[in-house]
Amino acid sequence: MQNFKKLNAEVVKLFFHSVQDPVSILEERVFVECNASTFDMFNIKSGEGLIGKTPWHISPEYQPDGMLSEEKAAKMIEKCIEEGSNRFEWLHLRPDGSHFYGDIHLIRIPETEKETILVLWRDITEAVETQKAYKETEQIYKSVLDNAPTAILIHSDMRWVYANKAVGEIFKVDTEKIMGADIFKYVAPDQKEMITENAKKRAAGEKVPDRYDMRVITESGEEKHLDVKVSPVVFNNKRSVLINCVDITERVAAQKQLEDSEEQLRITLNSIGDAVIATDREGNIVMMNPLAEKLTGWHLEEAKGEKLDTVFMIVNAVSRKKVENPVKKVLEKGETVGLANHTVLCSKDGAEYHIADSGAPINDNEGNIRGVVLVFRDITEKYLLEEQIRQTQKMDAIGQMASGIAHDFNNMLSGLIGNAEILSELVDSGAEEYEYVEKIMDISTKAVNLTRRLLNFSRRNEDLSTEIDIHDLILETVNLLKSSLGSKIEIKDLFYSGSSTVKGDAAQLQNTLINILFNARDAMPEGGVIKISTSKLDLRNSAVNPMFLSPGEYLCVAVEDSGTGIKDDILDKIFEPFFSTKEKGAGTGLGLVSARKTAKDHGGSIAVESEVGKGSVFKIYLPISN
């Protein structure tokens, strides 16, 4: 038996010196042998730092689990003695003060006189540190997830397997109660189908939205809106789905409130009788109501983002010069401003409207200007009415003055003509003096005709009930004037085929045509073409029109010449009494005034269109007699 023990010890020593890994021998819990690799592991050159020492002498006072090294080493050795071997991790302390982790394998050597244990070492510091760092990182991640402000859930097999604290706050329930619950427990019923279909498509590899809004019902029955982000993950070695949720209930409520407010504002703006345009601080249009769309000719969709002066084109009614952008004025003054009088809005479709408006700043809660709101209305009808009233008042005043002058002048002429007739009887017709008497009579006769025209201008017409065929009247007038118009003038006519009967005074209407035809002749000194045409104008469905005619059917008589045309700066003056572009003494300035009065007395109107170098067209509107 003694020989066997000796043989066994020899075998151990042979093994001890042949292996390359660190190996040591403990006898009675004291190191008695160490190979060179062990010394290298402890950063020592000989066994002085190990031989004769116990395991707890080469260890820190406490192991990482908190046990005393001496106490824990005794337990590990006892276990090895009892079971024959034992393997565990151990934190060692080198003589230089550094630490390292070892994978320790104790093997009891049987049949020895003393309690002998073979110690196999392996430095696993790097692996332990890596594992430790991994666990620390894992713990950090878990802490971050658990305390994240957004709700984070993970589900596998349609059951929740993870939920952080924020989830419990959203659903008003303990997070533990969510674990293992069906994923549809809190989902609004009408959204279950959508979620199921998306899940099926995602599983099949189809492309589906990974972010969407959804509604959930909390434990207390409260409805909440969530912004959900879906991501596939592997959790506990299983294919799972991570759900990242943000509670947007307040945002949705605020958005709904904003939409309701905007809808209420839209309804209000669409209902008011004024046109409204709103811009940002740079003057770019952000909003228009339907009336503004109608007056500007722009739809909101095409006007958004455009500069105000591109859409809201305004000019002075008299000078036609562009009016200053109201946004600029509001931003400069920081207060409500109004446009100047006589402002005309030029619509995109070519229409023009006389408008009155005001602009005001849009301020935020801090008083900063965020934009400008422009409110304006169409006052064309009011403007035309005021112009008509002013014109009527002016004409009445001029008529009264003309009547007084004509009566007084006529009385003087009567005396002059009477004395001239007496003088003609006293002077021999063959005498030289008789020629001067005839000139007096001729000039007096012309003066009488002038006073007659003045009296006709100022006199109110009582009987305008005679039915007249305008086409016959035109042909009769043209035949009457053929020789007066001259051979260089060509007359063309194009008559409307319908009813051409009006009620009125044939002499006045013919006189109007004569005045206009003579003006056309004078505008074409080298000759040209006069076109006379008629057409029907139906204003039964129109309450307001540029000529301010009452609703009804009208016959339009158009006299167009190819003459020199009328300059823009005098076009509005041609119907004023005593205004004439002819040479001094060549015209009285009452022809077109009389024409306008005649048209008005017959319930109609007269208008002119002209372009310098291309001619003019006068249009007489008369009510058709049905």
Q: Tell me how far apart the terminal alpha carbons of the chain are, to the nearest angstrom.
A: 153
Residue scoring higher pLDDT (272 or 87): 87
Quick one: tokens of 344? 């005309």
Distance CA 598, CA 609 (A): 19
Number of domains in the chain: 5
pTM, 2 dp: 0.39
* Amino acid 265: pLDDT: 67
Q: How confident is the model at residue 80 (pLDDT cuts 50, 70, 90)?
A: very high
**Same domain for 226 and 281?**
no
- What's the rounded mean pLDDT across residues 530-534? 92
Residue 567 reports pLDDT greater than 50: yes
Q: What is the mean pLDDT of the segment spanning 287-296?
A: 87
- How many Å apart are CA 322 and CA 309, to the nearest integer? 10
192 and 326 in a common domain: no
Q: How confident is the model over 48-76, as a mean pLDDT?
A: 92
Q: Which residues pair with 148 in a beta bridge?
A: none
Judge if 447 and 518 occupy the same domain.
no
pLDDT confidence of 514, banded at 50, 70, 90?
Answer: confident
| pLDDT at 385 > cutoff 60 | no
Average pLDDT, the chain: 80
Of 130, 161, 186, the residue that ends a domain is: 130
Which of 150-164, 287-301, 582-596 has the least mean pLDDT?
582-596
Which range, of 71-75, 399-403, 524-528, averages the lowest pLDDT?
Answer: 399-403
Task: With respect to residue 292, please indicate whether it lies within any of the assigned structural domains.
Answer: yes
What does the pLDDT average to over 564-593? 66
The answer on pLDDT for 320 being more than 90 is no
Q: What is the DSSP letter of 65?
A: T
C-alpha to C-alpha distance for 155 and 241, rounded to whole angstroms: 5
Helices 380-426 & 432-458 angle (0-180, nearest 10): 150
Q: In terms of domains, do 205 and 323 share one?
A: no
Do residues 500 and 571 share a domain?
yes
Chain centroid to Cα 361, Å, comes to: 18
The domain boundary, picked from 354, 378, 402, lies at 378
What is the reported pLDDT for 543?
A: 44
Element at 18 (helix H, strand E):
helix 2-18
In this predicted structure, which of 427-441, 466-480, 599-613 has the lowest mean pLDDT? 427-441
Residue 236 belongs to a domain = yes
**Domain identity same for 601 and 481:** yes
Considering the chain, what percentage of its residues have pLDDT values greater than 70? 82
Q: Is residue 260 part of a domain?
A: no
CA distance 99 to 58: 10
For residues 105 and 408, the model is more confident at 105
Whether residue 441 is found in the same domain as residue 471? no
pLDDT of 329 over the 90 cut: no
Euclidean distance between CA atoms 104 and 547, whole angstroms:
113
Residue 270 lies in a domain: no
Q: Retrieve residue 493's tokens.
A: 């006519």
Same structural domain for residues 547 and 600?
yes
Residue 487: per-residue pLDDT: 83
pLDDT of 590: 63
Determine the pLDDT at residue 92: 93
Is the confidence at residue 29, as pLDDT, over 90?
A: yes
Residue 256 — very low, low, confident or very high, per pLDDT cuts 50/70/90? confident
Q: Is residue 269 part of a domain?
A: no
**What are the DSSP calls for 370-404, one per residue?**
EEEEEEEEE-HHHHHHHHHHHHHHHHHHHHHHHHH
Q: What is the pLDDT of residue 585?
A: 43
Whether residue 263 is contained in a domain is answered as no
Is residue 296 pLDDT above 80, yes or no?
Answer: yes
CATH of the domain at 116: 3.30.450.20
Asked whether residue 505 is assigned to any structural domain, the reply reads: yes
Question: 84 with 196, same domain?
Answer: no
Residue 384: predicted pLDDT: 61
- Give pLDDT, residue 72: 94
* Interval 233-248 mean pLDDT: 85
Interatomic CA distance for residues 398 and 597, integer angstroms = 12
pLDDT at residue 389 above 60?
no
Query: Which of the 8 DSSP states describes residue 107?
Result: E
Same-domain status, 473 and 613:
yes
**Choice between 328 and 14, residue whose per-residue pLDDT is larger:** 328
Averaged over 162-171, what is the pLDDT?
Answer: 83
What average pLDDT does this structure show over 501-520?
A: 86
pLDDT tier for residue 388 given thresholds of 50, 70 and 90: low
For position 589, what pLDDT does the model report?
Answer: 54
Q: Which of 23-27, 239-243, 336-340 has the highest mean pLDDT?
A: 23-27
Cα–Cα separations (whole angstroms), residue 250 to 222, 243, 245: 13, 20, 14
Do 355 and 397 fall into the same domain? Answer: no
Q: What is the pLDDT of residue 73?
A: 94
What pLDDT shows up at residue 5? 46
User: Where among 351, 378, 405 does a domain terminate?
Assistant: 378
Quick one: 224 and 90 in the same domain? no
Report the pLDDT averaged over residues 357-374. 78
Q: What pairs with residue 528 in β-bridges?
A: 489
Put residue 148 in one of left, alpha, beta given phi > 0 → left and psi -120 to 50 → alpha. beta
Highest mean pLDDT among 78-92, 136-150, 364-378: 78-92
Give a yes or no: residue 137 inside a domain.
Answer: no
What token pair was written down for 87?
């393997």
pLDDT-derived band at 4, boundaries 50, 70, 90: very low
Q: What is the per-residue pLDDT for 7?
A: 46
- Domain range for 20 is 2-130
pLDDT band at 525 (very low <50, low <70, confident <90, very high): confident
Average pLDDT over residues 169-181: 83
Closest CA to 24 of 94, 110, 97, 116: 116
Where are the alpha helices (H) located in 220-307, listed in sequence order? 249-271, 290-296, 300-303
What gap in Å lies between CA 287 and CA 187, rounded to an integer?
Answer: 39
Helix H segments across 87-243? Answer: 125-146, 165-171, 175-178, 192-203
For residue 462, what are its two tokens?
């009582």
Query: Which of the pair, 579 or 167, is modelled with greater confidence?
Result: 167
